[in-house]
């Protein structure tokens, strides 16, 4: 499965790239801190797949706190036919570490 590291994601964010972010943390976690993008908790992803705003051919970067839930979400999306799903390795924790 394809991954992106925190430094590469940060560089792309700094370059103001339009990224398709899917945050699979719970709503309260997303409300507390997020990078933007769409929020669908991983436990609800399969049931709410019709609400996903990205196409099956788009690059979708899946993020969570530590990279574990997003890894599960990446598998779910791939099984549902999404072709370019990328997991943020180490999650938002890794991203926050390089920004401190």
DSSP 32-84: HS--SSEE--GGGTTTTGGG--S-TTSEEEEE-SSSHHHHHHHHHHHHTT-SE
pLDDT in tens, the chain (100 residues): 899 999 999 999 999 999 999 999 999 999 999 999 999 999 999 999 999 999 999 999 999 999 999 999 999 999 999 999 999 999 999 999 997 7
Token look-up 């899946």 returns 62
Helix, strand, or coil (residue 100): coil
Q: What is the pLDDT of residues 37-51, one digit of tens each?
A: 999 999 999 999 999
Domain boundaries, the chain: 3-98
Is the pTM higher than 0.75?
yes
| Fold (CATH) for 3-98 | Oxidized Rhodanese; domain 1 (3.40.250)
């Amino acid at each position: 499965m394809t991954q992106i590291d925190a430094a590469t994601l940060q560089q792309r964010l700094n370059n103001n790239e339009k990224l398709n972010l899917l945050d699979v943390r719970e709503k309260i976690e997303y409300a507390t801190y997020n990078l933007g993008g769409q929020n669908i908790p991983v436990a609800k992803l399969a049931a709410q797949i019709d609400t996903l705003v990205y196409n099956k051919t788009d690059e979708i970067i899946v993020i969570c706190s530590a990279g574990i839930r997003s890894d599960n979400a990446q598998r779910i999306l791939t099984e549902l036919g999404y072709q370019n799903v990328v997991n943020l390795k180490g999650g938002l924790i890794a991203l926050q570490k390089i920004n401190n």
